[in-house]
Amino acid sequence: MRPLLLTTVVLVLAACSATSSTPWEANAEPGADLVLLHGRIATMDAAHPNATALAVRGDRIVAIGGDAEIMQHVTERTRRIDLKGRFAMPGFIEGHGHFLGIGAMKLELDLRGAKTWDEIVTLVTDAARRAKPGEWVVGRGWHQDKWTSVPQPNVEGVPLHDELSRATPENPVILVHASGHAAFVNERVLALAQLSAESPNPPGGEIVKGPDGRPTGLLRETAEEFAWSARARTSKTRDTFHKQVELATDECLAKGITTFEDAGTDLATLDRFAKLADGKKLRLRLWMMARDDQAALRKGLATHRWIGRGGGFLTVRAIKEQIDGALGSHGAWLLAPYVDLAGKDEKPASAGLNTTELAVLEESAKLAKEHDLQLCIHAIGDRANREVLDLYERVLGKDAKTLDHRWRVEHAQHLDPLDVPRFATLGVVAAMQGVHCTSDGPWVASRLGEEPAGTTSYVWRTLLDSGCVIANGTDAPVEDVDPLPSFAASVTRRMPSGAAFHGEQCMTREEALRSYTLAAAFAAHEDDVKGSLVVGKYADVVILDQDLRTCPDEAITKTKVLYTIVGGRVAYEAK
Ligand SMILES: [Zn+2]
């Protein structure tokens, strides 16, 4: 026995020393590294939904059940956290967000709280004054439908650039729309990008023009690129990658998120994340979609399929594409024209934008199939959703569901009732954002009409009842990454006014919890290691000060995150 035991110890020690700086790797000594005791634990495991305690060894759960049972795993070196009756559940999984965007937002001008256009002009003018002449000012998060008054003059509710341009003559200014699907720029940017009354619209985008034919400053969808390339040409931008990762990580961990599903990052940036993962520098788990041009994808996909890299901290096994824009910026691709654009001028009203040619999407679908990757296509309008479902059916076949492909529609926001059951039939996951319903609800009907909005928009109940899997999230930084407002929106659909947006489509508490844990893990092909608290899965746990299954509706958003545990390691602890 002895030599064998010695060999084992040596091997284990050798394995540990290779990654000695990581406290969450398996310990050679017996017993648990961490136990949680005396809690109310929602396991999300259908066979044993409730527990009071759990034990962790290395980065995995080794036991879950009652306190007496778990105490058997406690040794001298075991860290104990007494939950004192508090609530614990699998860590939140953000199902669709833009990880670096969260960090970038913290380094730029945050316009999400602005109530009027004048307020934005003031904020930007101040920022321009602090900047050097010629330095670019970038802001993010404005939304014309969240303003308390309509700016005058305006085109489709969005102002003309003149006032902003007069206030910021020395600095180029780009203000990204909350949806991320349009940007507003000042005169300096228009000049640098050489945009004028004569400039034609690019494919999949629009240079919005006023009654006199001049650009208003609003650049929709692909037209935004004119501004960003002018910036790339004329200024040296600081590399803030690491800063953004740190800021975004801290923000997510403080809000109870243990896995973040990132909705699209280019291959070169994915390489930088791989470096962080390999150096054990990531503190929360990332599941990232590859988003790049077709040539780059074709060349690089084979070397960018990573599953559980860096001890389960980085997975890339999906391609991101986008078929349309957002509803707020009139970019969502609809079956019928926008009701608020009807009768505005001679031409027929717009039904939105198809931002990526269908032939390109078809090519990406083939690439995804060939490389055994998921395909995740952004689709907001009902036409966009239908086209994506048609595409998936064409490429995967009528029996798609049996392939367990878990291809996704990102947002799946407005659906023709005929298309709703097709998600379940084809095995397509709907990656939706609870909080979009309540923050956009007040103006959805103005775009789509009252009646259609009720039967087509954010139809969680109908989707779930048809057997569709819904992953929840926030699309951060479009919305705050905090899961609690999105959870509350999912179960109440209550808008800021207090009225519910078609309350009959609410999720139950259980369904909403699932959408933020097990279903979100399923949507990433990761339900074998995450999403529920069972033996063998990662010890990714969040501890809250109240029970999300039973607290009053109004209390949900007041819930405090006490601990966020990633792979058995306390990654955040409330002060
Ligand atoms: Zn997004």
Residue-wise pLDDT for 390-448, tens only, equals 999 999 998 999 999 999 999 999 999 999 999 999 999 999 999 999 999 999 999 99
Given this model, what pLDDT does residue 20 score?
A: 34
Tens of pLDDT, residue by residue over 214-268, are 999 999 999 999 999 999 999 877 788 999 999 999 999 999 999 999 999 999 9
The pTM of this model reads 0.86
Residue 380 exposure: Cα atoms within 13 Å on the Cβ side: 26
Residues with CB under 5 A from ligand 1 (ion): 263, 475
Cα of 475 vs centre of ligand 1, distance in Å, is 5
pLDDT given for residue 5 in this prediction: 39
| pLDDT score, position 296 | 96
How close is the Cα of 405 to the center of ligand 1, in Å? 21
Rounded distance from Cα 263 to ligand 1 centre (Å): 6
Neighbours of 335 (CB within 10 A): 17
What DSSP line would sit under 237-261, residue for residue?
A: ----HHHHHHHHHHHHHHTTEEEEE
Q: What is the mean pLDDT of residues 364-368?
A: 97
Report residue 29's pLDDT band, with 50, 70 and 90 as the boundaries: low
pLDDT of 454 over the 80 cut? no
Domain limits, the chain: 1-91+532-575, 100-234
- Which pair of structure tokens corresponds to residue 511? 């369904």
Q: How far is the CA of 197 from the centre of ligand 1 (A)?
A: 31
Tell me what pLDDT residue 346 has.
Answer: 54
- Ligand 1 center from residue 536 Cα (angstroms): 32
Cα of 74 vs centre of ligand 1, distance in Å, is: 44
Q: Judge whether residue 136 has pLDDT over 70.
A: yes
The residue type of 133 is P
CA 3 to ligand 1 centroid distance, Å: 56
Q: How far is the CA of 9 from the centre of ligand 1 (A)?
A: 48
pLDDT at 6 exceeding the cut of 50: no
Q: State the pLDDT at residue 288.
A: 98
Calculate mean pLDDT across residues 520-541: 98
Of the candidates 242, 313, 268, 272, which has an alpha carbon nearest to the alpha carbon of residue 19?
A: 313
Between the CA of 325 and the centroid of ligand 1 the distance, in Å, is: 10
Read off the pLDDT band of 156 (50, 70, 90).
confident
Q: How far is the CA of 355 from the centre of ligand 1 (A)?
A: 14
- Distance from Cα 199 to the centre of ligand 1, integer Å: 28
Ligand 1 centre and the CA of 95: distance in Å? 10
Alpha carbons 262 and 281: distance in angstroms, whole number: 17
State yes or no: pLDDT of 571 exceeds 90. Answer: yes
Q: Tell how far the Cα of 473 is from the centroid of ligand 1, in angstroms.
A: 10
Contact call for residues 100 and 200 (beta carbons, < 8 A):
no
Second CATH level (architecture) for the domain 100-234: Roll (3.10)
Higher pLDDT, 18 or 335: 335
Give the distance (Å) from ligand 1 centre to CA of residue 471: 13
- Residues 306 and 334: beta-carbon distance below 8 Å: no
Identify the CATH number of the domain defined by range 1-91+532-575.
2.30.40.10
CA of 85 to the centre of ligand 1 (A): 37
Q: What's the pLDDT score for residue 12?
A: 39
Going from the Cα of 50 to the center of ligand 1, the distance in angstroms, rounded, reads 34
